[in-house]
Amino acid sequence: MNEQELRKKLAMLRTEHRDLDAAVDALRESGSADQLQIARLKKRKLGLKDQIMMVENALIPDIIA
């Protein structure tokens, strides 16, 4: 993947992560919070966070110190 594609993927992953965060908050505030559903959303968020880190690392050039 080139840098432009990586940046697009990073933006998409961050948006999805933010949307999942909002969904978790909405479930908690609704009062009828399904703990299993919240756990699944949190697990998906963690997976997205890992993907975000990998893409960010791919965008940072290797610098030999």
Does any domain span residue 64? no
Domain hosting 51: range is 3-59
Does any domain span residue 65? no
So what's the pLDDT on residue 65? 60
Does any domain span residue 24? yes
The answer to whether residue 39 scores a pLDDT higher than 80 is yes
Total number of domains constituting the chain: 1
Q: Compute the mean pLDDT over every residue in the chain, rounded to the nearest whole number.
A: 91
pLDDT digits (tens, 9 = 90+) for 3-28: 999 999 999 999 999 999 999 999 98
Task: Report how far residue 33's alpha carbon sits from residue 17's, in angstroms, rounded to the nearest whole number.
Answer: 19
Does any domain span residue 54? yes
Does any domain span residue 16? yes
pLDDT above 90 as % of the chain: 75
Closest listed residue to residue 24, CA positions, set 36, 41, 12, 7: 41
Residue 21 half-sphere exposure toward CB, CA atoms < 13 A: 9
So what's the pLDDT on residue 22? 96
So what's the pLDDT on residue 6? 95
Does any domain span residue 45? yes
